[in-house]
Structure 1
Amino acid sequence: MRKNIVVNLICEVALRLFLFAVFLITETLTPFHRIIHPEEMWLYKNPRSERDTVPTWHMFVSDIGDHCVPPRPSQPRPDYFYRCFPDGVVTEDMQCTGDPGSIMEGRKSFPSGHSSFAFAGLGFTTFYLGGKLHCFTSRGRGKGWRLCATLLPVYIAAMIALSRACDYRHHWQDVVAGSLIGLTVAYTSYRQHYPSLSDQDCHKPYPKTKLSTTQERKLSNPAFKLDV
């Protein structure tokens, strides 16, 4: 038993180290260079915002998923024009004159990392609260405060996602895709540990070890006694 626990722990640590290595490698890859035609340049002439509504320092975790397909097939960010030409003057050869790092980041618009991160973390919190409060079972269904408490985290996630469009950091398609990725990860992770939200025992996590028939009968019937 103890040996299995140690092996599982080693596997989990190795997986996390592998994912972190993937993040480091893909972060340095050159993103896909999409040709921008003159008639669509208006899509990328939005003003640059010096500060994000939601800070970016904690976003490296979600980037592992967002960077997993190298090179990233992405259109430029809405503020790409002023990343490429900070003074607003286009050169004859259409070569960017801005900061190379900022230009590279300007080509990483799809999907939105903030949106995927927000819906992954806060989406999981919503599923967790929904199970603990029995919002979708006969025990808690129809009680407004339970539903409001359950939906609050995902509402905050939606506001974070919308802020990325308001800051001209992403197109709406990027935000929608990132949100769906995060929500899918959240639900998949939740179901690894808890039953469906409509299950009567949705507040209880799955047992870590398989119970014997006798143990299952004892748990389901407190009056059950084993004759020895």
Structure 2
Amino acid sequence: MPPFRGLEMSSGLLFDILLRGFLGLLFMELERAEPFTRKIHIDELWLYKNPRTDSYVPTTVLWPLVFVFPIIVICLTFLVTRDRIDFYQATLSVTLTLGLNGVITDVIKLIVGRPRPDYYWRCFPDGAMNTEFDCNGDPALVRDGKKSFPSGHSSFAFASLGFISLYLAGKLHTFTLAGKGQAWKLCIFLIPLGIALSIALSRTCDYHHHWQDITVGSTIGILLTYLCYRHYYPPLDSPVCHKPYSALISQIEIESIKGSKGEQVKWI
């Protein structure tokens, strides 16, 4: 039985790796796809004539924060606990979260095709609009200008930093009886969420998103990270919230085997 069991685990791990690779490749393809071109009526043009500004949180800052920071937290936790199972399960959880978030967010962007608040100036850099609304701006900027809903910055920020909040809360037992009355644990849980919220709100300040975009994007990110985290870890109010399900299952099986051996000795 053990050899077959090991083969099954290896196959499952291989599938997990291939799934995340597929999600990553699909995300990159979707990033280059052309979104739906939505008709803009004259009476709503004011929504898309905000000035063009640089991002307060550019992608050169966002991507390292989103992809590297969770791995740093997981690695630091491993250095303290030396728990390899937790390291693997946490990595699987956050990578699944980010992969699903990227694909789902981009699919919605492409289907909806909502113009950004600064779309007019992307479309007509010289300010001279034609009656057919045929854009003469940089095609890449125009294409990106039709991907306002939902906010990718917001969804990725809450997917990544939201995972960190859940992960640290589980390790510190923030919401169990052991963590009650310890404000510093609650603050550690809230800090990553506060950073994610700041990133999301900055997207309205630099006129790259409407408020509805960041609301829906943030909701997508936090829901996906909670779903994927709970797929690998128990509820945060559980006494064993610091352990992944795979470790708990192994522990139960070991105790079951010991119990069976004990019963056999008893009857000999």
What is the TM-score normalised by the length of structure 2? Answer: 0.75
Contact 2:108 2:149 in 1 (8 A): no
Structure 2: distance between partners of 1:45 and 1:70: 20
What secondary structure does 2:178 align onto?
A: coil
Question: What is the Cα deviation at residue 104 of structure 1?
Answer: 0.7
One-letter amino acid of the counterpart of residue 106, structure 2: H
Deviations 1:180-228 (A, max 9, x none): 1110111011112211111122122223455556605979xxxxx9474
1:80 equivalenced with 2:80 (yes/no): no
- The AA in structure 1 aligned to 2:214 is V
Runs of 4+ in 1 over 4 A off after TM superposition: 59-62, 208-214, 216-219
Contact 1:72 1:108 survives alignment (8 Å) = no
Query: How does 1:99-118 map onto structure 2 within 5 Å?
Result: 99-118=138-157
Shift of 1:5: 2.8
- Aligned pair 1:10/2:50, yes or no? no
**What SS does the aligned partner of 1:22 have?**
helix
Alpha-carbon separation, structure 1, partners of 2:168 and 2:258: 28
Task: Specify the alignment match of 1:36 in structure 2.
Answer: 40
**What is the TM-score when the length of structure 1 is the normalising length?**
0.87
Change (3 A) 1:158 1:41: same
Tell me, in whole angstroms, the C-alpha distance in 1 between the residues paired with 2:191 and 2:258.
38
Residues 123 and 186 in structure 1, CA contact (< 8 A), matched pair in contact too: yes
| Structure 1 unmatched ranges of 5 or more | 220-224
CA–CA separation in structure 1 for the residues paired with 2:237 and 2:178: 10
Instruction: Pick one of 57, 64, 71 that aligns with 2:103.
Output: 64
Q: CA deviation at 1:95?
A: 1.5
Q: Which of the residues 205, 211, 220 maps onto 1:172? A: 211
Distance, in Å, in 1 between the alignment partners of 2:121 and 2:109 is 25
Quote the residue 1:215 is aligned against: 255
SS in 2 for 1:98: coil
Structure 1 residues 105 and 189 mapped into 2: Cα distance closer, same or farther (>3 Å)?
A: same
Following superposition of structure 1 onto structure 2, how do residues 167-206 of structure 1 map, counting pairs within 5 Å? 167-206=206-245
Check conservation: 2:235, 2:241, Cα contact below 8 A: yes
Partner residue of 1:92? 131
> Is 1:134 the equivalent of 2:173?
yes
CA contact (8 A) 1:193 1:206 kept: yes
Percent identical: 46
User: In 1, Cα distance between the equivalents of 2:169 and 2:106?
Assistant: 31
Q: C-alpha root-mean-square deviation of aligned residues, in Å? A: 2.4
Q: Is 2:147 aligned against 1:122? A: no
Q: Is the 8 A contact 2:108 2:150 kept in 1?
A: no
Distance 1:156 1:83 in 2: 29
| Equivalent pairs, count | 222
Q: Structure 1 residues 163, 216: closer, same or farther in 2, change over 3 A?
A: farther
Task: Say if 2:94 is the partner of 1:55.
Answer: no
Distance across 2 between alignment mates of 1:150 and 1:213:
32
Q: Could you say which structure has the greater relative contact order, defined with CA pairs below 8 angstroms and 6 or more residues apart?
A: 2
Q: Distance in 2 between matches of 1:110 and 1:162?
A: 14
Encode CA deviations 1:110-132: one digit per residue, 9 max, x unaligned: 11111111101110111112222
Larger helix proportion of the pair: 2
The one-letter amino acid of 2:9's match is I
